[in-house]
């Protein structure tokens, strides 16, 4: 009758008949049919092996809840063993508690070989791409993203991410399987479980009924791309070389057999290894990676004794005893993907911060570097807070304590926050623009030395007879957005108001947002460079550029944004240092030489206004400016 209705093959029919003879009454005929047909469908669509499809009675292809069906999950380096209890609400192994004594558990185990070797190229570096490479389904991915699941071995590849955006990256994946082990009805049949009290504890929802053993390895190859190179071309070349690894040969001297062009190319590759293998040395170069890759099959052991669980099948305890805890619902794929996008935004921001911090301009002006570091740290704080909320809510939703709508509301609140991904990226856009503008000014003032700190400036001034300095006075000024972000992390009331004005006009808070200011500063930078060019043969004068914050003198700050010239004359042996704000007037003047700055011979067209400094115990006429009319 079964063959007529379903037109299934004889081996599958025999599985049905065998199960019908058991006393596991919770396994309904409808569930069995869905499991078997689901397994057949999975085999056709994904190309899984016959051994795996025969296990479909214990598994669900997508790990979604379906009439109390079993689940198939990847191990991710976790120490699974047959008969171990597992809590799917928290994706947590429960060691120590078991339904059987060890001797009873080891009897009647069924084992069969399942040998396979495979490799593939992974080009995607997104969370989705890495999860797919490890066959991580949506619910388990949610637990990983929230920090509920700690991975090990080859699964540490999930934690790997690019540090900088100018990295070309391609990953080589190696996977091998050796054997399959499963419990039998002698374990799962009614009355065969010795420690029935375990059901009542409510600590676990599932029991491990089958394990596929093997090992995986990921070789992550990176190549830094310069500004003159095409990222896509470099990545394509990297991918082409990685594909050759299984066929590459090593000569008797331990050298790779490569053409000179390829050899020069691979020398620029770096490698990181994530695997389930015990290596004497972790590969860091292309050649070392080839050597390790070719040794992997031997490292499994003659009988596969060095393998680890790569995939496990979990059977619901509730199907064995109705008093056991159960998994009420899984997290929907849509919400998992939304949480994933939020976390990927934070990863992208971290890369952008790292890129900006590596810029020479950010190192020349520490005020910018400090803001970037603070911003990066605060973004990490928001990310961690979001993960902690997920880690708290996921088990409650899965166990039926809360509805899935709670998670949807959390995601909605993150998007409506004043510090959502959109606003955080806007601030980062402004910093990248500021760095770009400053770099332009520095390139214009090629005759001036950039001094990174006030201490460095003092050292330069004391080392020179006279110094002229172009000063950026607003780089370290407080920014309302960063202040509001800091208050938000401290939990200040109303600090996450979506209408917060600090988050409304992020771009307007930046000095570089004004085209007029930037254009005017560019003109003054050219004038300053002309001044330095005219005096470059004068060894008594140095021209400097520095970023100094001046919050107390708002007028000076305003003037500095527009013309930003400060003169520091210093006479050897004197303790008097004079600081004057210089203005070029008129703006279209001829080049001039500051042959004797202490005499101020260029006052007539160099100064617009200035003040004579006063010194303790000295009259106003003392100093190199004495006798000059105002």
What confidence score (pLDDT) does residue 415 get? 92
* Residue 64 and residue 54 in one domain: no
* Residue 53 and residue 73 in one domain: no
**What confidence tens digit (pLDDT) does each residue in 285-334 have?**
999 999 999 999 999 999 889 999 999 999 999 998 888 998 999 999 99
Q: What is the mean pLDDT of residues 36-50?
A: 38
* Residue 29 and residue 151 in one domain: no
Q: What is the mean pLDDT of residues 604-615?
A: 36
Instruction: Give residue 209's Cα distance to chain centre.
Output: 36
pLDDT at 429 over 60: yes
Q: What is the mean pLDDT of residues 3-30?
A: 41
Residue identified by tokens 């000095």 is 511
Contact 438, 444 (CB under 8 A): no
The 3-state secondary structure of 572-625, one letter per residue: CCCCCECCEECCCCCCCCCCCCCCCHHHCCCHHHHCCCCCCCCCCCCCCCCCCC
The 3-state secondary structure of 12-76, one letter per residue: HHHHHHHHHCCCCCCCCHHHHHHHHHHHHHHHHHHCCCHHHHHHHHHCCCCCCCCCCCCEEEECC
**What confidence tens digit (pLDDT) does each residue in 366-394 have?**
999 999 999 999 999 999 999 999 999 99
Q: How confident is the model at residue 540 (pLDDT cuts 50, 70, 90)?
A: confident
Structure token digits, residue 153:
């071995």
Rounded Cα distance, 276 and 156, in Å: 10
Pairing of strands 466-472, 565-569: antiparallel
53 assigned to some structural domain: yes
420 assigned to some structural domain: yes
What confidence score (pLDDT) does residue 181 get? 96
424 assigned to some structural domain: yes
Cβ-based burial of 131 (10 A; exposed 0-12, middle 13-18, buried ≥19): buried
Q: How confident is the model at residue 219 (pLDDT cuts 50, 70, 90)?
A: very high
Q: How confident is the model at residue 573 (pLDDT cuts 50, 70, 90)?
A: very low
What confidence score (pLDDT) does residue 496 get? 60
* Residue 339 and residue 193 in one domain: no
The 3-state secondary structure of 294-320, one letter per residue: HHHHHHCCCCCCCCEEEEEEEEEHHHC
Which of 58, 83, 98 is where one domain is finished? 58
pLDDT at 421 over 70: yes
286 assigned to some structural domain: yes
276-315 b/e (C-beta count within 10 Å ≥ 16 → b):
bbeeeeebeebbbbbbbbeebeebbeeebebbbbbbbbbb
Instruction: Single out the residue of 435, 444, 610 nearest to residue 532, CA to CA.
Output: 444
Which of 58, 78, 94 is where one domain is finished? 58
168 assigned to some structural domain: yes
Instruction: Single out the residue of 408, 419, 426 nearest to residue 382, CA to CA.
Output: 419
616 assigned to some structural domain: no
**What confidence tens digit (pLDDT) does each residue in 480-506 have?**
899 989 988 887 655 566 666 666 667
Q: How confident is the model at residue 538 (pLDDT cuts 50, 70, 90)?
A: confident
Which of 283, 318, 353 is where one domain is finished? 318
* Residue 467 and residue 532 in one domain: yes
* Residue 572 and residue 596 in one domain: yes
Q: Which of the two residues, 344 and 590, has the higher pLDDT score?
A: 344
What's the chain's Rg over C-alpha atoms?
Answer: 34
Angle, vertex CA 173, rays to CA 344 and CA 141, nearest 5: 35
What confidence score (pLDDT) does residue 450 get? 93
Q: What is the mean pLDDT of residues 25-45?
A: 39
Structure token digits, residue 561:
């944004």
* Residue 159 and residue 169 in one domain: yes
What confidence score (pLDDT) does residue 600 get? 34
Contact 465, 573 (CB under 8 A): no
Q: How confident is the model at residue 141 (pLDDT cuts 50, 70, 90)?
A: very high
Q: How confident is the model at residue 39 (pLDDT cuts 50, 70, 90)?
A: very low
Q: Which of the two residues, 587 and 140, has the higher pLDDT score?
A: 140
3-state secondary structure of 568: strand
Residues in the chain, total = 630
* Residue 77 and residue 36 in one domain: no
Contact 427, 374 (CB under 8 A): no
Q: How confident is the model at residue 524 (pLDDT cuts 50, 70, 90)?
A: confident
* Residue 578 and residue 557 in one domain: yes
pLDDT at 529 over 80: yes
**What confidence tens digit (pLDDT) does each residue in 60-117 have?**
333 344 445 789 999 999 999 999 999 999 999 999 888 998 888 888 899 999 999 9
* Residue 370 and residue 274 in one domain: no
Q: What is the mean pLDDT of residues 160-172?
A: 92
pLDDT at 55 over 80: no
600 assigned to some structural domain: yes
340-376 b/e (C-beta count within 10 Å ≥ 16 → b):
bebbbbbbbbbbbbebbbebebbebbbbbbebbeebb
pTM (two decimals): 0.75
Taking CA atoms, 165 is separated from 277, 350, 538, in Å, by 30, 10, 44
Q: Which of the two residues, 524 and 392, has the higher pLDDT score?
A: 392
CA atoms within 13 A on the CB side of 216: 25
In sequence order, what are the residues at sequence separation of 6 or more whose Cβ sits closer than 8 angstroms to the Cβ of residue 619?
none
CA atoms within 13 A on the CB side of 476: 18
**What confidence tens digit (pLDDT) does each residue in 180-196 have?**
999 988 888 877 888 88
494 assigned to some structural domain: yes
Q: What is the mean pLDDT of residues 539-547?
A: 87
Pairing of strands 541-547, 466-472: parallel
pLDDT at 476 over 80: yes
Q: Which of the two residues, 424 and 593, has the higher pLDDT score?
A: 424
* Residue 251 and residue 263 in one domain: yes
Domain count, the chain: 3
Instruction: Single out the residue of 571, 576, 584, 563 nearest to residue 612, CA to CA.
Output: 576
Q: How confident is the model at residue 252 (pLDDT cuts 50, 70, 90)?
A: low
Q: What is the mean pLDDT of residues 340-355?
A: 96
Taking CA atoms, 356 is separated from 7, 375, 472, 510, 529, in Å, by 63, 12, 19, 17, 26
Query: Percent of the chain beyond pLDDT 90?
Result: 46
The mean predicted confidence, pLDDT, of the chain is: 78
Contact 368, 433 (CB under 8 A): no
Helix 421-444, helix 480-489: angle, nearest 10: 140
* Residue 149 and residue 248 in one domain: yes
Domain of 1 in residue numbering reads as 1-58
The DSSP code for 121 is E
């Amino acid at each position: 009758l079964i063959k007529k209705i379903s037109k299934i093959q004889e081996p599958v029919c025999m599985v049905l008949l065998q199960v019908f003879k058991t006393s596991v009454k919770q396994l309904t005929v409808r569930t069995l049919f869905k499991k078997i047909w689901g397994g057949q469908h999975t085999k056709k669509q994904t190309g899984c092996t016959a051994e795996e499809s025969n296990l479909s009675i214990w598994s669900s292809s997508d790990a979604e809840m379906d009439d109390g069906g079993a689940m198939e999950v990847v191990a991710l380096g976790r120490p699974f063993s047959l008969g171990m209890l597992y809590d799917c609400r928290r994706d947590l192994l429960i060691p120590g508690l078991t339904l059987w004594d060890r001797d009873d558990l080891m009897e009647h185990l069924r084992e069969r070989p399942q040998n396979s070797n495979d490799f593939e190229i992974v080009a995607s570096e997104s969370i989705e791409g890495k999860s797919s490479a490890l066959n991580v389904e949506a619910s388990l991915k949610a637990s990983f993203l929230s920090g509920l699941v700690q991975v090990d071995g080859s699964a540490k590849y999930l934690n790997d991410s690019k540090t900088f955006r100018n990295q070309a990256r391609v990953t080589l994946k190696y996977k091998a399987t050796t054997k399959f082990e499963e419990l039998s009805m002698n374990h799962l049949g009614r009355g065969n479980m010795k420690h029935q009290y375990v059901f009542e504890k409510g600590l676990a929802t599932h029991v491990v009924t089958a394990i596929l053993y093997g090992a995986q390895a990921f070789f992550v190859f990176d190549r830094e791309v310069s500004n003159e190179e095409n990222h896509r071309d470099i990545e394509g070349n990297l991918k082409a070389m990685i594909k050759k690894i299984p066929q590459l040969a090593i000569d008797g001297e331990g050298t790779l057999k490569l053409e000179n062009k390829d050899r020069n190319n691979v020398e620029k590759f770096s490698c990181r290894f994530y695997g389930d293998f015990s290596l004497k040395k972790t590969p860091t170069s292309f050649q070392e990676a080839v050597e390790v890759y070719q040794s992997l099959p031997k490292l499994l052991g003659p009988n596969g004794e060095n393998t680890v669980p790569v995939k496990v099948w979990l059977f619901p305890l509730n199907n064995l005893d109705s008093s056991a805890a159960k998994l009420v619902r899984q997290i929907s794929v849509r919400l998992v993907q939304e949480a994933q996008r939020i976390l990927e935004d934070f990863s992208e921001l971290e890369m952008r911060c790292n890129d900006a911090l590596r810029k020479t301009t950010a190192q020349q002006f520490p005020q910018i570097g400090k803001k970037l570091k603070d911003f990066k740290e605060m973004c990490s704080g928001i990310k961690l807070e979001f993960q902690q909320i997920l880690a708290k809510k996921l088990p409650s939703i899965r166990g039926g304590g809360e509805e899935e709508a709670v998670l949807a509301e959390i995601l909605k609140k993150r998007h409506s926050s004043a510090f959502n991904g959109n606003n955080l990226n806007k601030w980062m856009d402004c910093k990248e623009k500021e760095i770009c503008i400053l770099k332009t000014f520095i390139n214009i003032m090629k005759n001036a030395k950039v001094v990174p700190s006030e201490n460095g400036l003092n050292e330069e001034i004391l080392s020179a007879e006279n110094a002229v300095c172009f000063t950026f006075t607003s780089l370290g000024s407080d920014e309302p957005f960063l202040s509001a972000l800091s208050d938000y992390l401290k939990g200040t009331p109303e600090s996450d108001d979506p209408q917060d004005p600090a988050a409304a006009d992020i771009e307007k808070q930046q000095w570089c947002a004004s085209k007029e200011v930037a254009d005017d500063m560019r003109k003054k930078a050219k004038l300053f460079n002309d001044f330095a060019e005219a005096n470059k043969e004068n060894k008594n004068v140095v021209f400097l550029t520095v970023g100094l914050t001046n919050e107390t003198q708002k007028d000076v700050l305003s003037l500095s944004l527009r013309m930003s010239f400060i003169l520091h004359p210093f006479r050897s042996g004197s303790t008097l240092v004079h600081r004057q704000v210089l203005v070029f007037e008129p703006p279209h003047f001829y080049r001039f030489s500051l042959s004797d700055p202490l005499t101020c011979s260029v006052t007539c067209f160099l100064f617009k206004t200035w003040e004579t400094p006063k010194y303790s115990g000295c009259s106003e006429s003392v100093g190199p400016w004495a006798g000059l009319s105002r």
